[in-house]
Amino acid sequence: MVSLNTVAPAAASPRPGLSETGVAIDARVEKIYYGDFLAVRDSHVAVEKGQITGFIGPSGCGKSTVLRSLNRMNDLIPSFRLMGSVTFLGQDIYAKSVDPVVVRRHIGMVFQQPNPFSMSIYENVAFGLRLNRFKGDYDEKVETALRKAGLWNEVKDKLRQNGLALSGGQQQRLCIARAIATNPTVLLMDEPCSALDPIATRIIEELMLELKQEYSVAIVTHNMQQAMRVADKTAFFSVDISKGGRTGFLVEQGDTRQIFHDPREKLTKDYISGEFS
Amino acid sequence: MSAEGFDLKGDNSISRPPSRGEILADRAFRGIAYASGGLVVAMLAYILWEIGGQAAPAIARDGLGFLTRAVWNPQEHDFGILAEIWGTLYSSILALLIAGFFGVAVAIFLTQDFLDARLARVFRTVIEMLAAIPSVVFGLWGIYVVIPAIRPVANWLHEFLGFIPLFSTPMAGPGMAPAVIVLAIMVLPTVAAISQDAFQLIPYKVKEAAYGMGTTRWEAIQKVMLPTASSGIAASLVLGFGRALGETMALAMLIGNSGQISLSLFSPANTLASLLASQFPEAGALEVEQLMYAALALLGIALVVNIIGTLIMAMSSKQTVS
Ligand SMILES: Nc1ncnc2c1ncn2[C@@H]1O[C@H](COP(=O)(O)OP(=O)(O)OP(=O)(O)O)[C@@H](O)[C@H]1O
Ligand SMILES: [Mg+2]
C-alpha cells in the first residue's frame, strides 16, 4: 500500500512564530480527473512553512497536476475536477466562498516555460505590485526582486526594454522576479530551471534557499541532484498503469535525506537507484 | 549551392541533400513570390501614373488651391474639394471610433472564454457575413430604416443640446449621422475579425501567467491580453480605416452629397468617393480632369493613412519584440 506519509512535527520549523503544525499547504488529494481520465489518486502532500518541498517522479505521474491544484491554477481547465481538500494556512481553498483569484495572489507560481508579458522588464516585475495596488517605492521593489532572481546586473540598463527580448533563461528569471515581487506566502515552481544553464540554475537554487527564510516553496524537478541540493522535504510520485489507465499517486514523502538514502518504498528505491546507477 | 561541394556520405544516415527537382521547385517558388510582389507594386505605380496623367491638366490649372477650397461650380469652372476631404476624414474617423470600440469588444467577447467555442464560431461567422452584404443594400437600409429611426432623436438633441457643435443643425434627411452609423457597421467585420485573430494568436502560457499572478478575468484582459494584442488591433483599425475611406455607394446614398464643412452630425456632407460616383456620369471633359485630381487626393489620403498605420505598428511591435 502507498504510504501517505504525513508531515514532520512542528519542531522542524526553522523560524519561531509559525503556527504549530508548520504546514503552509496541506493537500489531501483523493482523486483528480481531467474529464473521465483519472490523473492522480490518493496523494497527501504537504508544503511546509519555511521549507522547500521537492516533487519528483517519472514523467506523466501528475507532479504538475498536483502542484497546480495547490493554487487553483487548474481551474482554468474546464474538465479538471478535484476530490479531496487543499488547505492553505488552515483554510480550504476549494471552499465555495473562496475566490481563486485571492488564492493565487498569496500562492505565486513560476511555470516550466518562461512566460513574461509583452511589456517592459520593469512593468513585468511591477505587474503584481500594481495589481495589488501597492503604495510605496516601486523602483526599490523592482530592483530587489530582480536582484533576488539574479537578473539585476544583466538588465539594470535596459529596464524599459520588452521582457520578450531577453534570452530564454533571462526570461525565466524575470518570471521568478515577477512572482516574488509581491512577497507571496508560498511559491510554486514547476521545473523552473529546465530552460536554464548550470550557472543560472545555481542562481535560482541559491535564490530558493534564500527565499525559504521568508516563504514556503514547492518545486517540481526532474533533476535529482537539484532535489538533493535544495529540498528539505521530498515527495516521490509514481504512476500506476495496472488498471489500463495512467494514474499518478504519491509513493512517499519525507525528509529529503531519508527519501534518497533510506527510502521506505521499493518504488522509490528503484527510481532513485536507477537515477544514480 | 551548398548541395554540391559538400558531399558527406554518412554510412548509415538517411540524410541526403535536396534533389535537383527540389532545388528547382524552391527557386521557382521564390521567383513566383518575387514576381507577385513586384506585380502589386507595379500595378499601384501604374494606377498612380494613369490617374496622375489624367489629372495633370487640372493640377497645372488649380495647383494646391484645389485641395484647400470648398467649391464645386462646373458652370464657372471653379473647383475645390476641401469639403469632400473634410467629409471623408470626418465620416471615416467617426465610423472607426464606433467600429473600433464595438469590434474590439466583439473580439474580446468571442475569444476570451465568454462563450463556448462552438457558439463563438457561429457568432464569428454571422459577423463576417455582414461583410458580404452589398453596399447598395446597406444604403437602402440606411435610407428606409436608419434615417427615420434617428431623425426624432437627432432633432431632439438639436433642440435641447444645440449649443454643442456636434448637434448644431437640425436633421432633415441624409447627412453625416446616418452615413457614419452605416459605415461603422460596414467596417465592423474587418475590425472584429482581425482583432480576433490578434487575440487568438496570444499563446496560452501568457493567459496562464496572467491568472497565475492572481488577476481577475477582466484584469487579465485589460492588463495583459489587450496590450499583447495591441499591434494586431492597430492593424485591424488601419484596415478598417482604409475600408471606410473608400466606401462609396452607401455613402453616396446617405451622406447628402452636399459639400459643406460642418462639425454637426446632422448636416449633409460629402466624401471624395461619393463625389466621384455622383459626378462622373454627367462630367464634361474638364470636370473629368478635376475628378481625376480628386481621385488622386483620395488615393494619397489612403496611402498616408496606411503609412502612418504601418509606422505605428512597427513602433509598437518594436516595443513588443526588441
Ligand atoms: N489539461 C489536461 N487535460 C487532460 N489531461 C491532462 C492535462 N494535463 C495533464 N494531463 C494528464 O495528466 C497526467 C499527469 O500530467 P502532469 O502534467 O501532471 O504530469 P507530470 O508529472 O508533470 O509530467 P512531466 O514530468 O512530464 O511534466 C498525464 O497523463 C497527462 O496526460
Ligand atoms: Mg510537469
Instruction: Could you list the beta-strand ranges (E) of chain B.
Output: 70-73, 78-81
pLDDT band at B107 (very low <50, low <70, confident <90, very high): very high
C-alpha cell at A39: 490523473
> What is the per-residue pLDDT for B82?
92
Q: How far are the Cα atoms of A35, A40, A206, B86 from residue A62, in angstroms, in the given order?
A: 15, 6, 26, 64
What would the pLDDT profile of A86-118 be if each residue is shown by its tens digit? Answer: 999 888 999 888 899 999 999 999 998 899 999
pTM of the model: 0.82
What CATH number has the domain spanning B81-319? Answer: 1.10.3720.10
- Whether the CB of A128 is below 8 Å from some CB of chain B: the reply is yes
Residue A129 falls within a domain, yes or no? no
Binary contact (A118, B228; C-beta < 8 A) = yes
**Cβ–Cβ gap B208/A179 under 8 Å:** no
- Split into its structural domains, chain A has a count of 1
What is the helix (H) or strand (E) element at residue A28, kind and residue range?
A: strand A23-34
The residue range of the domain holding A49 is 23-116+184-272
Residue B3: is its pLDDT beyond 70? Answer: no
Say which residues have a Cβ less than 8 Å from residue B183's Cβ, sequence separation at least 6: B91, B92, B95, B99, B244, B247, B250, B251
CATH of the domain at A201: 3.40.50.300
**Would residue A160 count as lying in a domain?**
no
pLDDT digits (tens, 9 = 90+) for B165-181: 888 888 888 989 999 99
Does residue A64's CB lie within 6 angstroms of at least one atom of ligand 1?
yes
The dihedrals phi and psi of B234, each to the nearest 5 degrees, come to: -60, -40
- Specify the higher pLDDT residue, B199 or B284: B199
Q: What are phi and psi of A43, to 5 degrees?
A: -130, 115
In a domain, A231, yes or no: yes
When pLDDT is cut at 50, 70 and 90, the band that residue A195 belongs to is confident
Please give the Cα distance from A215 to A107 (Å, whole number).
10
Encode pLDDT of A162-186 as tens digits.
999 998 888 999 999 999 999 888 9
Give the Cα separation of B118 and B240 in Å (integer): 26
pLDDT at B197: 92
The number of the ligand 1 atom at minimal distance from the alpha carbon of A222 is: 25
Cα A16 to Cα A6, A10, A19, A195, B27: the distances in Å are: 21, 10, 9, 36, 73
Which is the closest atom of ligand 1 to the Cα of A34? 4
Taking only the tens place, the pLDDT of each residue in B283-299 is: 888 888 889 999 999 99
In a domain, A204, yes or no: yes
The interface pTM score, or ipTM, of the predicted complex is 0.86
pLDDT beyond 70 at B10: no
Give the C-alpha separation, B108 to B233, whole Å.
11
Report the residue of chain A nearest B204, measured CA to CA. A115
Average pLDDT (B265-280) is 90
Per domain, the residue ranges of chain B are 15-62, 81-319
- In A, minimum Cα distance to B206 occurs at A115
Q: Tell me how far the alpha carbon of residue B252 is from its chain's centroid.
A: 18
A170 in any annotated domain: no
B206: buried, middle or exposed (CB in 10 Å: 19+, 13-18, 0-12)?
middle
